[in-house]
Structures are given as structure tokens and as C-alpha cells.
Amino acid sequence: MTETAHWWKKSVIYQIYPRSFCDSNGDGVGDIPGIISRLDYLKALGIDVIWLSPIFRSPQDDNGYDVSDYRDIDLLFGTLEDVRELFAQAKRRGIKIMLDMVLNHTSDEHPWFLEARQSRDNPKHDWYIWRDGVPGTPPTDMISTFGGSAWQWVPECGQYYLHQFSVKQPDLNWKNPEVRHALYDMINWWTEQGAGGYRFDAIESIAKIPEAGIVEEGPMLHEYVKELSAATLQGKNLVTVGEAWSANIERAKRWSNPDGSELSMVFQFQHIIQDEIPGGNKWDRRPLYLPELKKVIGAWQRGLRGCGWNSLFWENHDLPRIVSRWGNDKEYRETSAKMLATLLFGLQGTPYIYQGQELGMTNTDYPLSDYRDIELCNMAKERLAAGWPEKTVMELIHAKGRDNARTPMQWSNARNAGFTSGEPWLRVNPNYVQINVENEEKQPDSVLNYYKKLISLRRENDVFFDGDYTAISEEREDIFAYRRENGRSVLTVAANFTGRPVLIPELEYHTRGDLLICNYPTAEVCDQLRPYEARMYLATAQTE
């Protein structure tokens, strides 16, 4: 593979959650024309690729992750014509569009499933995963990610179908080659329409064996991914990423093998679940222990070097806002948002920015009735029914609920943050009055302008791309610092993860070079980092 085939290694990817990005027609839901109207904003930010969460026809049970027609656009978001226009307008600005492909399941309203559920003899029946049984006794005790049994009884067939996610998201049967080829044809069709890449949703689950309790990483998984890659991706200059909660470094080497046999990179979560109790689920929280986080990030940096590629991220549409999670969204909101950005952008891999992260958008503290997410609402219903105190349930939601990241994008301090002229589908975070694009564009030291600077810095020196990673004082509980070296330059990144000043004599022991960027406006204090201070230095080797 040539280096140009790996163009995405030097890219920055921006994730758009279409229903919350920009509404052009006043129905309260973001849409494609809204995205087109903001392309100049994204161009000015400096990103190269947009990952678009699903825009396909969908009953919207899981906000589009339940697709009923992969080849058409949901009316909420616009038309196929709008998407063609988006591709063209983005291309004009040198931006590629990565579509979110949900291949593990469809909607129960997809014509394939409507047929499949008619009878056992229907030609589409085997396209989904069915098991015999009797009503009231599901074939296995597998639990759906969104609560309750993962099996649903269909009287017409006298069988259960499997749904790893909601009951409206039946799992496709990847064992059936017809299913696989129908999906490949559909992807190729999108590539012909002008898609620049794909994010593969829940791709680790396509080879599940329910009876063996295997959901992720089934034995046939990488065979299927290789087949998918050969049939749809190879030789087309696309950027691809697979969502894989189960990925470890060894598995990630397969997912992101530089020979291009699978995907460009994998979206793995080991770093971001460091504040969750191992073996539990996302609601089982524990305090973050910084040395452990650094160890995990360091291991991935070293582990994939030369034999895979990292996705760098703090946020997406399923995760809380990072400034509320690991920063301080009160008095140090801007400083800590910038600190976290600095740490991420210094690493090796392709950085992802989730919409609003570049503004330092925060979590919400709404009452339950203001939330919409199926996962969050089901969890609250189950736990309240089981007698959990309301206060505890609300604390969990405010910390981890997916709607924290899904509130409308904050464009200005006009009504509804300039997101819609109508009633937004999800309440706008009231802090939009201060935190919004218009304000941040005007303030030279805003979080937004800091992100712009980080993005352009990455383009200026190859050390960001190929520098070797070495941790500095990995055992310290207060700072996160590391070096990247490529024989020509040394990049040093140091950040204070706390709200108090800390001494950092370590910085004295390394050739620091010039200060590239810092999240405080006034000059640095040599061996001390102010609360949440972050700095990047670049030293360049003398040329002989």
C-alpha cells in the first residue's frame, strides 16, 4: 500500500449527529441542508472528514441506528438529492463524508424483516437470527443492551428473533451469504454516490453465537470483515473505522492491519471506560485513576506503532461530554477543555472531534421528562421500578446518559442556540447563552480557536504523525505528560489533570524546545503547571 492510500492518517475527523446539528426547516430536527449551511464553519475549523451518524430511512427508535431503507434518506433529514448536494459541496471544500453503516441489525420495519417475520418458509426468514421455543421462555438468557431479554417472540413463525439492541432492531444473520452480499452491494452503491468512507456500527457483533454467549468477536468475525473489505473497500481510497468495544491491542492489529485487508482503524474504548467498574456496564461508575488511564493510552500508542492505527477520541454520540467527565465544567471549563484537547492531539492516530466538543459543550442536568434516548429512558424505568432512589438514577443519567452529547449544537445566543426556529426535539442546554460558536469565533482565546490551532499544528510537523511515544512520570496521579520523537523532532506534551498548581521538575530534564501552544494566556512558569494547564513544546534536532 502506498502512503497516499493512507491519507487518513493525517486527517482530522469531525462527527456530526445530524438530528442535533442544524435545522434548516424549523421542524426541530437537524437536517442535511442544515449541515450544508455549516460546511464553511467546518472548513474553517480545519477538519478533513465528516462522520455522519445515520441519515437513512428509519422509524427513529434508536435515532437512525434502526434502518428501514439503506438506499434512501429519512424524510426528517432530507432527500437523496440533498445528500448528493452535500457530497458535492463538501468535495468542493476538500472534505470527505463518511457514512455510518449499521450492518449488525436493521429496523423491524425494513422490508427484509417484514418478509422474514411472515413465516418460516419465507425466503427472507433466514436473513435474521431465529430460534425455536415456547412463548415466555426465551432460548437463552441474553440481555439486550437497552434492557430486557434479547429475544422477541413472533407467533406467526412460532419462533424468537434475536435483537442485541432494541426490540425494533432485529439482528441480521451474517451466516447467510445472501445477507452479506446484499449489504456489500448497498455499500458499493453508496461509494458510487460519492461517499468517502464508512464507520461500521457494532461491527464486532456480526458473528455472534448466542448459545455460546459469544456476542463480540465470534470466530468468523475477521473472515467476514475481510470479505466485506475485499468486496467493497479495497483500492477505493476510502477511510473506514469499526466500532469495537471488545477490541484489545492484539485484535486491533487485525482490524487496522496496514495491509488494508480489514479497516483503516478501529474505534476502541479501553481508555474511555477507565472510570467504569471492570466487568460492569456503563452505569457502574468509579473514580478515574490517572496512572491507569495513562498506562492504557501508552500501551495503545506503543502497541499499534507500525502495525495498526489508533482512533483518538474523548467523545461521541454515546458518551458524555469530556469536559464534564474528566475536566471541570465549572470554573475551569475552558482551561480543562483545552487541556484535554491538547493531550488528545499530541498522540499518534487520527483525532475525532464530536460536534460541540470544539466549543467545550457540557453535560446536562435536566429532569427525566426532558430526556429522549431509548437507552437512558429504559434504564431509568427499570431501575426506578426495581426501587433505586430517584436521586441515584438521576445522578447516573447526568453523568453518563447519551443525551448529554445529543443536545442541539450551540451556534449563537439567539433563541434555541440558533439550532432551530421551531421546537427542538431535545432541550437545548441553557448554557448556550455563553457557550456558542458565535461567541467563540469572536474570542481569540476560546476553546474553538484553540482547537483550530491544534488542528493546524498537526499539519506543520511530522512528529505528530510518526513520533515514537514515551510516557513521562506515568505513575504520577496529577499530571499527564509524554514525549513523541521521530529522530528529527521531539514533541513534549504536559498537562495538569487537577484544579491546583503542581510542580513538574520532569520538564526540566527533557529538551523542551519552543512552546507551541499553551492553554493559559500568560507566559509559562518553568517547572510548575497551573490548574489544568497544558503545554506542547517542540524541539528540532540541529541539522548537520
Binding residues vs ligand GLC (CB under 6 A): 62, 65, 102, 165, 201-202, 243, 317-318
Indicate the DSSP class of residue 171. Answer: B
> Closer to ligand GLC at the Cβ: 11 or 104?
104
Shortest distance in whole angstroms from residue 318 CB to ligand GLC: 5
CB of 355 to ligand GLC, least distance (A): 14
Q: Please list the active-site residues.
A: 201, 243
Q: At what angle do helices 177-193 and 80-92 cross, to 10 degrees?
A: 60
* Angstrom distance (rounded) from CA 193 to CA 80: 10
For the CB of residue 106, give the shortest distance to ligand GLC in the complex, in Å: 10
Q: Cα–Cα distance between 434 and 86 in angstroms, integer? A: 30
160: which 3 cell numbers?
Answer: 424468537
Q: Residue by residue, what is the 3-state secondary structure of 57-121?
A: ECCCCCCCCCCCEEEEECCCCCCHHHHHHHHHHHHHCCCEEEEEEECCECCCCCHHHHHHCCCCC
Helices (H), 133-285: 177-193, 221-228, 249-255
Cα angle 449, 459, 307; round to 5: 125
> Which residue is at the shortest CB distance from ligand GLC?
65
| Cβ 465 to ligand GLC shortest distance, Å | 28
Q: How many CB atoms lie within 10 A of CB 444?
A: 9
Closest by alpha carbon to 104, among 145, 133, 76? Answer: 145
Closest alpha carbon to 35 in 51, 46, 11:
51
CA angle 140, 144, 146 (to 5 degrees): 160
Smallest distance from the beta carbon of 102 to ligand GLC, in angstroms?
A: 5
Q: How far apart are CA 46 and CA 519, in angstroms?
A: 19
Output the smallest distance, CB 368 to ligand GLC, in A.
Answer: 19
Q: Which cell numbers in the block locate residue 139?
A: 432460548
Which of 299, 294, 297, 292 has its CA nearest to residue 278? 292
- The least CB distance from residue 11 to ligand GLC, in Å, is 21
Exposed/middle/buried for 368, CB within 10 Å: 0-12, 13-18, 19+?
A: middle
